[in-house]
């Protein structure tokens, strides 16, 4: 890191910062070694993974008059996202796992667990370029601030496929002899599933701009009022540079106050309310506007290749293909509802703080945050086909609708449809009732009690106790239970049946939290600090497969493809009971995880050496090596093709990070 502060004059200051952090890792594969999940390697080879990047920033501050200040900033961040140089060994072998014996899966063949990148694509990277201009003007009792900012994100996505282009998994014969709706031959003791999945390379842009103005008014000697407004524009584009999600002039008002009741800083009452818009993530461009292919099929087989592990002598296909994504990039105008509104959240905070002495203060505040509009992807063509049928468009082909579209759940949606199947797109508004989705709901309420003992040169302490409730039918842009980090493109609203039973305490609902932080100066050169946190558990649910009785199980024409029944991973709150029946288990039906306690400790030695200060610091995280589970396996059903209870359901999936140490050395000086 390099930082330069330059005082051109007393009134003009320039700051320049440059940070570089690149990491290159060579992955070497040796004969018969398995450092990267390569099975039975027979050749020497290596490839390289690259992470990290650079950050450049420049800031100018100008004190133009005694009451008028301007500042400007420019910056660029570029990050290599696991960019791969070279092809992993084993990439020409198909991925093969054997689950016939039950329990842990057995790796067969010569494949690599690394995805295989498009060799002709540029490196996978994320780049952000941003600039902003701010000004502050003091006029009488008013401090007026205003400004403008603009940023451009560019994400380069490298197309990938699985090792060998396909993934095979062996299963033992199910008790009922049925696989994917088809009966296994009487002499078949096992079957095999094939996944073929790949994505296409491309570069995707997001352009965001905003302008704001706010006024801080000292209405009286002890009462300050804050008010402001922010206007934002979001523009997401596909690989061809076409806008597919755009929102202009989203208006976000803010207001607040601070009341020094006794006019001596011993008692303060404060509050603020505001609206906050959340931009559409660049990941949405990659997933929704790009081409993806994902197909699943099932077969019997006669034997297994001893080298690759792939099946030999495939029998007739069992049931139909399960096509989740067609591999064709959708037309930009058909991907997103024309009347799509970005996500926004309203926030209200009210509180009071009191000084009990010169050293101690405390208070309480209430917080309420509520998402008033959400967006996500929806992956069922049934509503479009039904609307076309009800409105007399007999030539409409639901296959012209993208695999997934982006809309506001629970709201009417305007889409461009090929109503006559002749390539001509017509914008139509489809009422919300056709989609069958509930409105996007997420609400957080909390009361926080906080206290603080000010630093007196010897010791300092602060802490808080929060009682909170997070509830609704969706966490937000991600799904932590299913470990989905595809911002804005989770499975939560893919089908109406996936929303059944979802309203309740959300996965991040931790009802109680106690936090303490303190530091103590032992001598002039030695100090110790500690951080304590106690958190109650979060809700536990059961995820499985929707039954074939839900309306969206099949495609609009009644075939098994393109309905919620095509999903091969547990995606709903329907789970098998002890009798093998699919039963809806509402969110949070399986209690909560245990309380989590963690205590961290820090010791620092800070002698003055020469013209600067040396800082040697040792941190111990999780001092008492607490080992409580933080997550449990919430996948209740094993596979769709063979409806069986997952034997690992309810078992701990992850634990607290074990005790670990960090040592830091730093020397601060001025030139």
Q: What is the mean pLDDT of the chain?
A: 87
What count of other Cβ atoms lies within 10 Å of the Cβ of residue 658? 10
The pLDDT tens digits for 39-59 are 444 443 456 667 778 899 999
Q: What is the mean predicted confidence (pLDDT) over 522-528?
A: 93
Q: What is the mean pLDDT of residues 336-342?
A: 88
Q: Alpha helix (H) ranges present in 362-422?
A: 382-390
**What is the pLDDT, as a whole number, of residue 27?**
56
Q: What is the pTM of this model?
A: 0.79
Reported as a pLDDT band with limits 50, 70 and 90, residue 37 is very low
Q: Quick one: average pLDDT of 419-429?
A: 91
328 falls in which pLDDT band (50, 70, 90)? Answer: low
CA end-to-end span of the chain: 16
> Which tokens is 15 given?
């700051």
| Residue 114 pLDDT class (50, 70, 90 cuts) | low
In this prediction, residue 34 carries a pLDDT of: 41
pLDDT band at 31 (very low <50, low <70, confident <90, very high): very low
Dist. CA 627–CA 77, nearest whole Å? 37
Report, as an integer, the average pLDDT of 428-439.
96
Predicted confidence band of residue 285 (pLDDT cuts 50, 70, 90): low
Helix (H) or strand (E) holding 472: strand 459-472
Alpha-helical runs (H) found in 309-362: 332-335
Identify the sign of the CA torsion 556, 558, 562, 565: positive
Q: How far is CA 13 from CA 3, 73, 86, 567, in A?
A: 13, 12, 46, 58
pLDDT at residue 288 is higher than 80: no
Mean pLDDT of the region 381-400? 92
Strands 629-632, 652-655: pairing kind:
antiparallel
Residue 127: the pLDDT is 87
- Res 30 pLDDT > 60: no
pLDDT at 24: 63
pLDDT in tens, 132-166: 999 999 999 999 999 999 999 888 777 778 888 89
The percentage of the chain sitting over the pLDDT mark of 70, rounded to a whole number, equals: 89
pLDDT band at 596 (very low <50, low <70, confident <90, very high): very high
The pLDDT-based confidence of 348 (bands split at 50, 70, 90) is: very high
- By CB atoms closer than 10 A (0-12, 13-18, 19+), residue 664 is exposed
Secondary structure letter of residue 484 according to DSSP: B
Question: Residue 291: pLDDT above 90?
Answer: no
Q: For residue 48, what pLDDT is reported?
A: 65
Least confident of 266-270, 331-335, 599-603: 331-335
At residue 240, does pLDDT exceed 80? Answer: no
Residue 152 has which token pair? 């451009």
Which H or E run contains 287? helix 282-289
Contact (CB, 8 A) for 16 and 3: yes
In the block, residue with structure tokens 């995707």: 204
| DSSP assignment of 232-250 | EEEEEE-TTS-EEEEEEEE
Helix (H) or strand (E) holding 432: helix 432-435
Of all residues in the chain, what percent carry a pLDDT higher than 90? Answer: 55
> Which residue in 381, 443, 387, 442 sits closest to 412, CA to CA?
387
- H or E segment to which residue 468 belongs: strand 459-472
Out of 53-57, 224-228, 371-375, 607-611, give the one with best mean pLDDT.
224-228
Confidence of residue 36 (pLDDT cuts 50, 70, 90): very low
Residue 488: the pLDDT is 56
Q: Which of 155-169, 334-348, 471-485 has the highest mean pLDDT?
A: 334-348
Quick: pLDDT tens for 563-593: 888 887 888 999 998 888 899 999 999 999 9
pLDDT of 559 reads 67
Neighbour-count burial of 163, counting CB atoms closer than 10 A to its CB (0-12 exposed, 13-18 middle, 19+ buried): buried
For residue 544, what pLDDT band results from cuts at 50, 70 and 90? very high
pLDDT classification of 380: cutoffs 50, 70, 90: very high
> Across residues 21-25, what is the average pLDDT?
68
pLDDT in tens, 71-95: 999 999 988 776 666 666 778 889 9
Q: Which residues contact 509 (CB under 8 A, 6 or more apart)?
A: 468, 469, 470, 471, 538, 539
Pick the most confident of 24-28, 200-204, 591-595. Answer: 591-595
Residue 10 confidence (pLDDT) above 90? no
């Amino acid at each position: 890191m390099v930082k330069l502060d330059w005082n051109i004059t007393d009134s003009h200051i320039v700051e320049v910062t440059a940070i570089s952090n690149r990491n290159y890792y060579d992955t070497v594969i040796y004969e018969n070694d398995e450092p990267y999940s390569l099975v039975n390697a027979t050749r020497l080879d290596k490839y390289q993974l690259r992470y990290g990047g650079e950050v450049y920033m420049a800031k100018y501050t100008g004190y133009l008059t005694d009451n008028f200040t301007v500042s400007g900033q420019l910056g660029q961040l570029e990050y290599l996202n696991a960019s791969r140089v070279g092809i992993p060994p084993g990439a020409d072998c198909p991925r093969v796992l054997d689950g016939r014996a039950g329990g842990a899966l057995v790796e067969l063949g010569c494949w690599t667990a690394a995805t295989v990148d498009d060799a002709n694509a540029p490196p996978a990277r994320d780049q952000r370029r941003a600039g902003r201009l701010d000004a502050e003007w003091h006029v009488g009792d008013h401090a007026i601030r205003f400004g403008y900012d603009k940023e451009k994100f560019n994400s380069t996505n490298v197309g990938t496929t699985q090792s060998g282009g396909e993934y095979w998994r062996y299963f033992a014969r199910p008790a009922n002899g049925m696989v994917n709706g088809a009966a296994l031959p009487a002499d078949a003791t096992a079957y095999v599933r094939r996944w073929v999945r790949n994505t296409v390379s491309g570069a995707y842009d997001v352009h965001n701009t905003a302008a704001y103005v706010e006024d801080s008014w000292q209405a009286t000697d002890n009462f300050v009022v804050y008010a402001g407004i922010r206007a934002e524009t979001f523009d997401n584009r596909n690989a061809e540079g076409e806008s597919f999600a755009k929102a202009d002039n989203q208006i976000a008002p803010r207001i607040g106050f601070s009341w020094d009741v006794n006019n001596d800083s011993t008692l303060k009452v404060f509050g603020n309310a505001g609206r906050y818009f959340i931009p559409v993530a660049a990941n949405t461009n990659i997933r929704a506007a790009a081409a993806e292919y994902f197909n699943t099929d099932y077969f019997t087989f006669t034997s297994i290749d001893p080298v690759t592990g792939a099946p030999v002598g495939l029998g007739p296909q069992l049931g139909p293909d399960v096509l989740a994504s067609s591999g064709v990039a959708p037309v930009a105008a058909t991907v997103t509802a024309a009347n799509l509104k970005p996500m926004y959240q309203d926030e209200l905070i009210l509180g009071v703080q009191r000084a009990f002495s010169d050293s101690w203060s405390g208070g309480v505040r209430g917080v309420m945050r509520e998402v008033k509009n959400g967006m996500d992807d929806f992956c069922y063509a049934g509503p479009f086909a039904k609307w076309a049928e009800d409105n007399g468009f007999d030539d409409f082909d639901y296959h012209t609708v993208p695999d997934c579209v982006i809309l506001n759940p629970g709201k009417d949606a305007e889409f461009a449809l090929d109503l006559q199947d002749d390539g001509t797109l017509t914008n139509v508004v489809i009422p919300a009732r056709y989609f069958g989705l509930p409105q996007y709901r997420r609400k957080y309420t909390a009361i926080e009690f906080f206290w603080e003992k000010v630093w007196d040169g010897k010791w300092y302490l602060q802490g808080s106790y929060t009682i909170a409730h997070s509830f609704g039918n969706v966490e937000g842009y991600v799904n932590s239970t299913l470990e989905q980090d595809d911002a804005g493109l989770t499975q939560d609203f893919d089908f109406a049946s996936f929303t059944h039973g979802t309203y309740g305490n959300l996965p991040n609902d931790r009802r109680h939290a106690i936090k303490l932080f303190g530091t103590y100066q032992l001598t002039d050169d030695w100090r110790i600090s500690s951080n304590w946190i106690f958190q109650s558990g979060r809700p536990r649910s059961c995820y499985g497969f929707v039954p074939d009785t839900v309306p969206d199980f099949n495609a609009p024409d009644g075939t098994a493809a393109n309905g919620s029944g095509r999903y091969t991973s547990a995606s709903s709150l329907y789970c098998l009971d002890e009798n093998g029946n699919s039963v809806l288990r509402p969110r949070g039906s399986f209690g909560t995880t245990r309380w989590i306690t963690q205590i961290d400790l820090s010791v620092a030695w800070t002698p003055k050496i020469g013209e600067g200060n040396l800082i040697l610091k040792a941190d111990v995280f999780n001092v008492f090596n607490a080992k409580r589970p933080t997550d449990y396996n919430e996948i209740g059903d094993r596979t769709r093709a063979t409806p069986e209870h997952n034997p690992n359901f309810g078992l701990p999936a992850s634990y607290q990070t074990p005790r670990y140490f960090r040592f830091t050395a730093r020397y601060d000086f001025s030139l």
